[in-house]
Amino acid sequence: MPDGSGIPRDGGAGRTVRTTCPYCGVGCGVLAETGPDGAVTVRGDPDHPANRGRLCSKGAALAETVGTQGRLLHPHLDGRPVSWDRAIGTLAAAFRHAIDHHGPDSVALYVSGQLLTEDYYVANKLMKGFIGTANIDTNSRLCMASTVAGHKRAFGSDTVPGTYGDLEQADLVVLVGSNLAWCHPVLHQRLLAARRERGTRIVVVDPRRTAACDEADLHLALAPGADVALFNGLLAHLHAGGHGDAAFVERHTDGAAGAVAAALAEAPTPERAAALCGLDPAAVRRFYDLFAATERVVTVFSQGVNQSARGTDKVNAILNAHLYTGRIGRPGMGPFSVTGQPNAMGGREVGGLANQLAAHMGFSATEVDRVRRFWNAPRMAVREGLKAVDLFRAVEDGRIRALWIMATNPAVSVPDAGRLRAALSRCDFVAVSDGFADTDTARLAHLTLPAALWGEKDGTVTNSDRTIARQRPFLPLPGAARPDWWIVSALGRALGWADAFAYDRPATIFREHAALSAFENGGSRDFDIGALAGLDDAAYDALTSAPWPMRAGEAPTRRLFADGGFFTPDRRARLLPVTGRPPARARSADFPLWLNSGRTRDHWHTMTRTGRSPRLSAHTPEPCVDLHPADAARAGVTDGAVVRIVTATGTALARAALKDGQRPGEAFLPMHWTDRFTGACVAGTLIDAVADPVSGQPELKAMPARVEPVTLRWAGCLLSREPVEPRHAGYWARHAVPGGHVLALAGEDAPPDAGALADLFPGLSPAGADTVDYEDRRRGVLRRAWIADDRLAACLFLAADGALPSRDRLLRLLAGEPLDAAARLAVLSGRSSEPAAAEGRIVCSCFRVGLDRLTAAVRDGGLTSVEAIGRALNAGTNCGSCVPELREILAAVREGAAA
Ligand code: SF4
């Protein structure tokens, strides 16, 4: 808890601490407890309005992701630990040198939606008000910049008009480019509960058949990039049928005639729209008729819309349909952007994007002057800074000489990541502040700074429906780790602005942030939390969820725009004429597939946290590329085989996963894997950096690619108690399991022999370990066990024919029992001393129920429903994230029985 310095030191041992989940933009409330032994437990907060006690699989496993293993505990300069004084002095000297010799635009910050609002606020103030550059951009650029730009074009402000409750009050929910079931699971569960109660119709618009389609009435698997055509067709249909709200359009909007004309020009009929989208005309007409006939419609959109070189136009096409029908700001209706990160919205509020100033202001002369006066800023940035893609180009060509990356891993997540890595390695000075010591980006830094992580951080976040909530500490800061706001403030003071950065606690920063939001506002700006500007420390600490706007002296406004009042100069919304465009790059004979990238169910970003959890890692233990069976057959690829993915910018190795729900001509690769977890499967290296001209958000969903079969000469499997990173140029992938780690390996060259193992696995053998070997060169079999203190430390199986012991049996080897002579022999046979029931790949993370056990129970136990599975095995009864997969298993067993 805070000790007066504002820095949490002793955690919250023995108490229940009310905090917020650090993953997605749903922003679920979490109750965290630390036991006397330091063990952490978490559960959903029943009083939090976002989740009402629910957590998804990721939230429920949060306790497995805390701890000091792998943490960065001290500042390091060129790989050696240094004091904070030395670290801040080095950072200040590098920034000062660049500014003195090359001007303020030669320094940059690349920050993150993982930061708390207070961290974000101080970083923006330092860069935009004091250093004098707007070269601070956030990884939210990759997530929802197109929504920000679309909102501002239509509403004059970056405003989400509705609330989560609208999904429960709607009669039709349209999910566009949103796998809500996996990416915002608790919100999806709320939607499904409402559907059970009131029969909410659900339409999914997505090239892939995702888990969100499981309970949808209609799935429109449109061609990539066709969203504008689909929504233009909708607007034309609404216009033709007289379904517009003429009074709302007349009173509160501008540009409807132009938008309708553009829609009619592109997609005058459902049939034309269907042709442009590659869809069945009857299905398109059904969607349009449903929309037209339903008053309460919410359109949820996410990364499938945003991560596009035409993302802003896609957003405006959606907003046009809602504005034209007046379906905005009233219960159960409105366009609804859901954000990927826990504090993407908070970042937007403080100006985390390079083209924004603080408190939802821009770079007009009036706004720059207003913020200058509020901050008493000596050197105010007067124009927009470089957006992420351009920012890293400036690092590459030497315009940026000193770069500080905070709480993010761009060497993995930014498109054309290979080029970015080369640029970072040439940059004069790179600092990385992070909670983890060994990320792909930290390896390229001169200076690394240990930052607080979830459980230690103290501040606020804002979720997708504009609700501000507290993240509170319940763990002590490990080592010399510090909150991000503290590190930024220290740099500000070192650069000579002691008074402006004299912050001693997050509450002080929050009050200033709230005061700026109300400064010369008078209702002219959407973001106003002036009612919170006077919170004292105790009230800030006790703050429960608080939706904005919350103007001083007024009741909070929950929904906006039902009666107009947009934040354009004339208070009218704008309908924009938009026209569909194909994806930025075309497929070709060389690259016949479009490669899409996104999330898996149980991992988060670059796996720094979720990769530590055996429970979460079990769902997708290795990187898989989803392919339609026809594309796989054409490429000569079989299910489960290691394949090579090739694009114009890079190559990767992953396992093929054949899926009927994958649109033919497209492939899907998760964004999570890094060089720390796999040999060569960083999605960011495969994707060219082409960005939306309005929002600067890169296209991450449609990169021309091909998939090639890989001829393997051997396969292997390593179990180890400690994480191991092999020096292996072929395929490998590591994941956490109870008691250790499992590493899958495969190679195209000759299999390694026993003499090569020390080079292949540096640092694997514990001091004093015995080894037990078995080698049969003729059959290409090599097995070795490392045994320390009578326990298995590691165990390797290599086989030229790929025949390896079953995973379930291997996992029992790490159970930890002392190994007697018989057990030592059994290890190399790949058997534990006890038989194990087949579990298979974990489907239900909450209760660790695997595919094999589920299939057997359904097949042999006569289970015919998700509820029956839940009663028998508990699977699906907690967070519900696995329910779509349970349905798939039921269907697969049914089909198998019928065949
Ligand atoms: Fe966290 Fe899951 Fe809630 Fe998202 S839905 S905030 S990941 S618990």
Angle, vertex CA 163, rays to CA 217 and CA 27, nearest 5: 95
Angle, vertex CA 881, rays to CA 875 and CA 887, nearest 5: 65
Residue scoring higher pLDDT (817 or 62): 62
Best residue for ligand 1 mutational test, from 19, 21, 48 (most atoms within 8 Å of Cβ): 21
133 within ligand 1 shell (Cβ under 6 A) = no
Query: Distance between CA atoms of 157 and 568, rounded to whole angstroms?
Result: 7
Q: What is the pLDDT of residue 839?
A: 76
Q: What is the pLDDT of residue 833?
A: 47
Q: Each residue of 84-127: pLDDT tens digit?
A: 999 999 999 999 999 999 999 999 999 999 999 999 999 999 99
- State yes or no: pLDDT of 598 exceeds 60: yes
Q: Which stretch of 454-468, 684-698, 767-781 has the lowest confidence by average pLDDT?
A: 767-781
pLDDT confidence tier of residue 13, bands split at 50, 70 and 90: low
Burial (CB < 10 A; 0-12, 13-18, 19+), residue 117, is buried
886-890 mean pLDDT: 86
25 within ligand 1 shell (Cβ under 6 A) = no
627-644 mean pLDDT: 97
Query: Distance between CA atoms of 620 and 631, rounded to whole angstroms?
Result: 22
CA of 141 to the centre of ligand 1 (A): 21
- State yes or no: pLDDT of 838 exceeds 80: no
pLDDT confidence tier of residue 11, bands split at 50, 70 and 90: low
Q: Each residue of 137-150: pLDDT tens digit?
A: 999 999 999 999 99
Residue scoring higher pLDDT (709 or 863): 709
Question: Residue 899, Cα to own-chain centre: how many angstroms?
Answer: 40
CA of 214 to the centre of ligand 1 (A): 20
Question: Residue 368, Cα to own-chain centre: how many angstroms?
Answer: 32
pLDDT confidence tier of residue 490, bands split at 50, 70 and 90: very high
SS3 322: helix
β-strands 740-747, 731-737 pairing: antiparallel
Burial (CB < 10 A; 0-12, 13-18, 19+), residue 89, is middle
CA of 74 to the centre of ligand 1 (A): 30
> DSSP states of 125-150 as a string?
IIIIIII----EEETTHHHHHHHHHH
Name the residue with tokens 């403080």: 350
Name the residue with tokens 């919304």: 573
Best residue for ligand 1 mutational test, from 19, 48, 51, 183 (most atoms within 8 Å of Cβ): 51
610-621 mean pLDDT: 89
Query: Distance between CA atoms of 421 and 444, rounded to whole angstroms?
Result: 8
185 within ligand 1 shell (Cβ under 6 A) = yes
59 within ligand 1 shell (Cβ under 6 A) = yes
Query: Distance between CA atoms of 256 and 318, rounded to whole angstroms?
Result: 13
644-657 mean pLDDT: 97
62 within ligand 1 shell (Cβ under 6 A) = no
55 within ligand 1 shell (Cβ under 6 A) = yes
- State yes or no: pLDDT of 835 exceeds 60: no
221 within ligand 1 shell (Cβ under 6 A) = no
CA of 440 to the centre of ligand 1 (A): 25
Contacts 24+ apart (CB under 8 A), 539-544: 540/506, 540/507, 540/510, 540/511, 541/2, 541/470, 541/472, 541/507, 543/460, 543/468, 543/469, 543/470, 544/47, 544/469, 544/470
- Which ligand 1 atom lies nearest to the CA of residue 20? 6
855-863 mean pLDDT: 88
CA of 578 to the centre of ligand 1 (A): 34
576 within ligand 1 shell (Cβ under 6 A) = no
pTM for the structure as a whole: 0.92
- State yes or no: pLDDT of 387 exceeds 60: yes
> DSSP states of 210-249 as a string?
-GGGTT-SEEE-PPTTTHHHHHHHHHHHHHHTT-S-HHHH
Q: What is the pLDDT of residue 1?
A: 40
Instruction: Give percent above pLDDT 70 in the chain.
Output: 97
Q: How many CB atoms lie within 10 A of CB 251?
A: 12
870 within ligand 1 shell (Cβ under 6 A) = no
Across 188-333, the runs of DSSP E, i.e. the strands, are 201-205, 218-220, 253-254, 297-301
**447 strand-pairing partners:** 77, 431
Q: What is the pLDDT of residue 495?
A: 98
Query: Distance between CA atoms of 452 and 450, rounded to whole angstroms?
Result: 7
Q: What is the pLDDT of residue 829?
A: 72
CA of 162 to the centre of ligand 1 (A): 19
Q: Each residue of 148-167: pLDDT tens digit?
A: 999 999 999 999 999 999 99
Q: What is the pLDDT of residue 180?
A: 96
Query: Distance between CA atoms of 601 and 619, rounded to whole angstroms?
Result: 8
570-578 mean pLDDT: 98
Name, in order, each residue with C-beta under 8 angstroms of 309's C-beta and a sequence gap of 6 or more: 581, 583, 584, 690, 691, 692, 693, 698, 699
Is the distance from CB of 647 to CB of 99 less than 8 angstroms? no
**844 strand-pairing partners:** 849
CA of 471 to the centre of ligand 1 (A): 14
- State yes or no: pLDDT of 429 exceeds 50: yes
- State yes or no: pLDDT of 480 exceeds 70: yes
CA of 689 to the centre of ligand 1 (A): 29
Instruction: Give percent above pLDDT 90 in the chain.
Output: 76
378-400 mean pLDDT: 97
23 within ligand 1 shell (Cβ under 6 A) = yes
Would you state the structure tokens that stand for residue 62, as one six-digit string?
């949060």
Q: What is the pLDDT of residue 4?
A: 43
- State yes or no: pLDDT of 864 exceeds 80: yes
Angle, vertex CA 806, rays to CA 653 and CA 750, nearest 5: 45
- Which ligand 1 atom lies nearest to the CA of residue 51? 3
Give backbone dihedrals phi and psi of 46, rounded to 5 degrees, phi first.
Answer: -65, -20
Give backbone dihedrals phi and psi of 418, rounded to 5 degrees, phi first.
Answer: -65, -45
β-strands 447-450, 76-77 pairing: antiparallel
Q: Each residue of 529-545: pLDDT tens digit?
A: 999 999 999 999 999 98
pLDDT confidence tier of residue 3, bands split at 50, 70 and 90: very low
Is the distance from CB of 162 to CB of 558 less than 8 angstroms? no
β-strands 253-254, 573-574 pairing: parallel
pLDDT confidence tier of residue 604, bands split at 50, 70 and 90: confident
228 within ligand 1 shell (Cβ under 6 A) = no
pLDDT confidence tier of residue 2, bands split at 50, 70 and 90: very low
- Which ligand 1 atom lies nearest to the CA of residue 30? 8
188 within ligand 1 shell (Cβ under 6 A) = no
Distances (CA, A) of 182 to 74, 179, 300, 359: 35, 6, 14, 31
Name the residue among 703, 597, 693 with its Cα closest to residue 312: 693
pLDDT confidence tier of residue 897, bands split at 50, 70 and 90: confident
Query: Distance between CA atoms of 141 and 797, rounded to whole angstroms?
Result: 44
Residue scoring higher pLDDT (109 or 14): 109
Would you state the structure tokens that stand for residue 667, as one six-digit string?
């492939």
Shortest-distance Cα residue to atom 8 of ligand 1: 59
β-strands 703-709, 642-647 pairing: antiparallel
Q: What is the pLDDT of residue 590?
A: 97
- The mean pLDDT of the chain is 93
444 within ligand 1 shell (Cβ under 6 A) = no
Sheet holding 40-44, edge to edge: 16-20, 29-34, 40-44
Distances (CA, A) of 393 to 50, 417, 428: 39, 11, 14
CA of 840 to the centre of ligand 1 (A): 26
Q: What is the pLDDT of residue 8?
A: 54
Q: Which stretch of 269-278, 396-405, 526-535, 676-685 has the lowest confidence by average pLDDT?
A: 676-685
Would you state the structure tokens that stand for residue 844, as one six-digit string?
């239900």
CA of 51 to the centre of ligand 1 (A): 8
- Which ligand 1 atom lies nearest to the CA of residue 184? 5
691-711 mean pLDDT: 96
Query: Distance between CA atoms of 146 and 274, rounded to whole angstroms?
Result: 25
Burial (CB < 10 A; 0-12, 13-18, 19+), residue 749, is exposed
